[in-house]
Amino acid sequence: MIIGLDHVQIAAPAGCEERARAFYGELLGLAQLPKPAALAARGGVWFELRDGRQLHVGVAAPFAPARKAHPAFALASPAALEELANDLARAGHEPRWDEQLPGARRFYLDDPFGNRLELLAHER
């Protein structure tokens, strides 16, 4: 039986590692994890969220960005979401706000590789 979600993997093109570190690590604040030696040669970067779950940025050849399927990252509060949206916009990643989910504030944006991401905060 499934007991939870361990990680989500998104695809990126070969040579993505530095841009992934800059976006997911520096801009979004995710901690980079070392990849196991047996998997490191494949390229890509792994990150850890505060709850222990992981985001794996894996190299895909040929690469095509995910325009509909996406991970959704939760923030602690609507104020934290607004602050991150402002930081992202200043860095050239324009949030696309969506008001259609009752009880939550959220936006979509594309990572540096064109993959769709959702960021949200539930209103309490």
Closest CA to 116 of 75, 55, 72, 70: 70
Q: What is the C-alpha to C-alpha distance for residues 34 and 30, in angstroms, rounded to an integer?
A: 13
pLDDT at 86 over 80: yes
Average pLDDT over residues 27-35: 96
Q: What tokens appear for 7 in the block?
A: 């990680």
pLDDT in the model for residue 42: 93
Please, which pLDDT band fits residue 92 given cuts at 50, 70 and 90? very high
What CATH number should be reported for the domain whose range is 7-122? Answer: 3.10.180.10
User: Among all chains, which residue has been given the structure tokens 């901690």?
Assistant: 31
Q: How far is CA 71 from the centre of its chain?
A: 7
